[in-house]
Structure 1
Amino acid sequence: MAADDRGDFTGRWEHEKTHLRKAFFRLDIAAFLICALVGLDTLGTVAAKGPQGLVWLLFLAVFFFLPYGLLAAELGSSFPFEGGPYVWTKLAFGRFAAGVNQVLYWLSNPVWLGGTLTIVAVTTWEKFFFALPGGWKYAGGAVFVWIGALAVLLAFRVGKWLPTIGAVARIVLIGAFLVSVVVYGAEHGVHLRGADLKPTYIGFVGLVPVLVFNYVGFELPSTAAEEMTDPHRDVPAAIARSGVLAVVLYGAPILGTLLVLPHAAIGSLGGFVDACKAVFTVYGGHVAADGSVTLTGAGSVMGEIAALGLIIGVLTSGITWSMGGDRAQAVACADGAGPAFLGRFSARFGTPVRVNILSSVVSTVVMAAAFLLSKGDAQKYFSAVLGLAISTTFISYLLAFPSLYVLRRRLPDVERPYRAPAAGLVAALPTVFVVFTLVQLVWPGLGVGWFGTSGDPAGSLPEGFAHDRLGYVVSQLVPLALCVGLGVLFYVLGTPTRRARRSAAEPGPSPAGDAPADR
């Protein structure tokens, strides 16, 4: 390997890694992946686009999800270093690119947690329990965020059970929903017709960002690779099993929602919640002529249990991504790609407590700012923050995905317990979809009406931004520019760590077995 900074790690990280403990087993990894991959917050968004969402979900399962899983299986088993995608990107493209990339990957989670997950949790609570007026909405959001924060601070051998609980909650919730759909459909009939499944380009551009976002997370367990007992074997096995289950857990509730609710009645924010309320009327309650639902008796009890399950589901999604993203960011900071203050792991818990707290502060600020700026328009808040969470995540994948092909050429002698077939194609396919997704996020509807396709590009604007393309574009580009700027700032603040590394002149470990000099 060339003598540059791609393979070495600073002495600071060599010290911090002594706080890690191996307590991450194959079953834990699979549950971690289910929590990371199966996000309940976007089920309504997909269902709101109509039955063709099922077609595009299966299409992307083959052409995005499958190659992405193959890619993550090879990188995770061949380069099992704490920090996962940060390390892969650094080995392929260098510390600066990886450091800026990592800040985007990390920031996407507190934006997502403080944004879409919080609004889904608050909306679900209000639909099944009681409204949160005025400042109580902020208080409810803050409680949601900081419960997640405290959970992430736990030692990994304890905290890893939360994704397991979340995975079980998803399976139970979706299972109960599907059983109820069958009973409801037998009594009231269904709304889905075969002709409605016909795919269109306008449906594709509207669905791809959300569907691809639903399908990311395979790399997340690898952020704790040095806490795994056998990453060489467990990573590929867990990816294979959880990948199949994730497709089923996405497709089934979307299909159920489309069966029981008329297309016009499905909202992107509350579609799945509304479907749950409707089908639970089979246990007690009724659906009025105007579509409003009243639950009584056992139906009310079932609804409240499902609501709590949904809130637990979205909370454990945020916790799982925080566990991974915060670890990778702390590794980057300890490695000189960020301020050393944030590159510390607790000797007691083995967790990056400082990054965990900072993430929760960012989530709280996002939650409060979004509630304030949206002036109570929850749908507008949901659309803007979901788009930003997706775009920050996906920009980081522009380097992480090609790392597979680059590392095959740069480090051909590294032992690879699992080798993805056709590495160039496997790396290219998900990268192409990521680029397309980013374009559609910044300028929704691009290409609609071109080359004889039908539709109006303005119709692709997210709910809450009708006839306000400029407002939506600004809501995406300004925060993205700030995130990139923060990544550069973090790298500058890591200068003392890199300088100390050079002064010590002590070569760090390298996956290639050499000791390249730092930049």
Structure 2
Amino acid sequence: MSEAGQGKKKFRMLDAILAVICVVFVVEAAAPVAAIGNSQYFWWIFLMLTFLLPYGLISSELGTTYDSEGGIYDWVRNAFGRKWGSRVSWYYWINFPLWMASLAVLFPEIISLATGMQIGLIPSLLIELAFVWIIVYISFFPVSDSTWILNGAAVIKVLLAVTVGVIGTYIAFTKGVANEYTVSSLLPSFDLHSLSFISVILFNFLGFEIICTFAGDMENPNKQIPKAIVTGGLVIAAIYIFSAFGIGVAIPTAEVSTSSGLIDAIQLMTGKMTGPFISIISVLFLLTLFGNMTSWSLGVNSTASYAAENGDLPKAFAKKSKKNDMPVGTAVINGIVASIVLLLAPILPNQDLFWSFFALNLVMFLLAYIPVFPAFYKLRKIDPDKERPFKVSGSDTFLKILVVIPMILLVISIIFTGVPLSFDAETLAGTLPITIGAIICIFIGELIIIVKKIK
């Protein structure tokens, strides 16, 4: 850490826990997954045990053992070399501007809902670009300067999710349960419809490694990181299940679609499309988007900048502020890429732009995590003497299971999100652009390796 950072404000334990909640917890998660039906509870619990738990344990060990600003890039690079480090850093970075563009598309729609005003094409585009560049500007400053944003967003996220759970539970008690609960309905069907939601749920569990990149801002990272991940993970799991339960008991499954979100769910529950309550919820939701993007930008920027400093990404990513040593190069590139995507959006075929951008971001994001799990196992083998402040206990067989199952889930998720599994016109129109976009992104990543002669 630079001398300039020695006297800066530090993360407290509570700040670390709230940062985990802000980064990992996605307040939008419960509504679209509810479209599965009653089997959603199986998938939430199953993936919490088979993915969230192993991922949290592995992130805690790697994050406290290899606590550089490189995050998952460093973990994979140390285990498998520069080529895989470069790939991971590229996949991990490129997802972010795509994700930022997908959320920016939502902004004018939600503002229109909150205010009752119709927003035209040009004003909508200006709002989207403003959202992107405000996030870029915030990421010019250290995470400790943005603690109030992360804490506030975490509190609002929890408040919104609990509100959904409470409203749903109240409706179930006063008006009856919306869906029939039987043993068979609670079991998964393993059809294409249900399996396609695995990627959405996994996306909602990812982000623990971001807190590891904040280590330099913490009072005692070796203690704070694992405690924050465990505590934050338990809170997140409880809130996800409670909000999912609220939607599941109050709204008939047929009325919930994959594009449904938190606001849609509350509208269906209350039977009101507009009004003061819907406007307040809309404004609070917009604030959570700022918090989410701010927390992720700080982590992603650190990882990409660190990879560039090590010669595994283009030099432009390595540019830092002389004032506070923040990775401004990566931040500006984020803004440029997201802006280009948004400027091209109006000329793209008429489709769900949010899902198109989000699904492409999802594929690249999940790809970045596949090497992390075997990297954990290999580092145990090749670097056994390294001090591990937090160490996952268990036999060698247990560690292999901890690695293999999450990897399988990630691969399945990528296939169901980015590969057309049928060839009807509707499926091809929705999935083929995601497949082509992912291939282009992967090709650019391989080109970087060739041009920079990474071995």
1:247-280 deviation digits (Å, cap 9, x = unpaired): 122222222222222222213223421221244x
Which 5+ residue runs of structure 1 have no aligned equivalent? 1-15, 282-286, 288-292, 446-456, 459-465, 499-518
Matched with 1:436 is: 412
1:303-330 deviation digits (Å, cap 9, x = unpaired): 2111111111122112211111111000
**Match of residue 439, structure 2, among 459, 471, 481:** 481
Decide whether aligned partners of structure 1 residues 303 and 93 sit closer, same or farther in structure 2, where only a CA change above 3 A counts.
Answer: same
The TM-score, its normalising length taken from structure 2, stands at: 0.91
1:301-358 deviation digits (Å, cap 9, x = unpaired): 2221111111111221122111111110000001111222321322323321111111
% identity of equivalent residues: 24
How big is the shift at 1:18?
5.5
One-letter amino acid of the structure 1 residue matched with residue 357 of structure 2: V
Matched with 2:240 is: 250
How big is the shift at 1:374?
4.0
Distance 1:343 1:475 in 2: 31
One-letter amino acid of the structure 2 residue matched with residue 486 of structure 1: I
Matched with 1:197 is: 186
**Match of residue 356, structure 1, among 331, 336, 339:** 331
Matched with 2:316 is: 341
Distance 1:467 1:425 in 2: 39
Decide whether aligned partners of structure 1 residues 29 and 140 sit closer, same or farther in structure 2, where only a CA change above 3 A counts.
Answer: same
Distance 1:173 1:361 in 2: 32
How big is the shift at 1:187?
4.0
1:445-472 deviation digits (Å, cap 9, x = unpaired): 5xxxxxxxxxxx67xxxxxxx7333334
Write out aligned runs for 1:411-430 (5 A): 411-421=383-393, 422-430=398-406
Retained in 1: the 8 A contact 2:144–2:217? no
How big is the shift at 1:381?
1.7
Q: Does 1:74 pair with 2:61?
A: yes
Distance 2:266 2:339 in 1: 29
Write out aligned runs for 1:104-253 (5 A): 104-115=91-102, 117-129=103-115, 130-195=117-182, 196-202=185-191, 203-253=193-243
How big is the shift at 1:391?
0.8
How big is the shift at 1:246?
1.0
Distance 1:369 1:193 in 2: 45
RMSD: 2.3
1:98-157 deviation digits (Å, cap 9, x = unpaired): 012201101111111111x22343333333323322222212222222222222222322
One-letter amino acid of the structure 1 residue matched with residue 230 of structure 2: A
Q: Does 1:265 pair with 2:255?
A: yes
One-letter amino acid of the structure 2 residue matched with residue 212 of structure 1: L
1:461-518 deviation digits (Å, cap 9, x = unpaired): xxxxx733333443123222222233234445656xx9xxxxxxxxxxxxxxxxxxxx
Matched with 2:376 is: 404
How big is the shift at 1:47?
1.6
One-letter amino acid of the structure 2 residue matched with residue 270 of structure 1: S
How big is the shift at 1:61?
0.5
The TM-score, its normalising length taken from structure 1, stands at: 0.80
Retained in 2: the 8 A contact 1:208–1:437? yes
Distance 1:403 1:343 in 2: 24
How big is the shift at 1:78?
1.0
Retained in 2: the 8 A contact 1:339–1:491? no
One-letter amino acid of the structure 2 residue matched with residue 197 of structure 1: L
**Computing the radius of gyration over CA atoms, which structure comes out larger, 1 or 2?**
1
One-letter amino acid of the structure 2 residue matched with residue 53 of structure 1: Q
Q: Does 1:97 pair with 2:73?
A: no
Which 5+ residue runs of structure 2 have no aligned equivalent? none
Retained in 2: the 8 A contact 1:171–1:249? yes
Q: Does 1:274 pair with 2:264?
A: yes
One-letter amino acid of the structure 1 residue matched with residue 300 of structure 2: G
One-letter amino acid of the structure 1 residue matched with residue 130 of structure 2: V
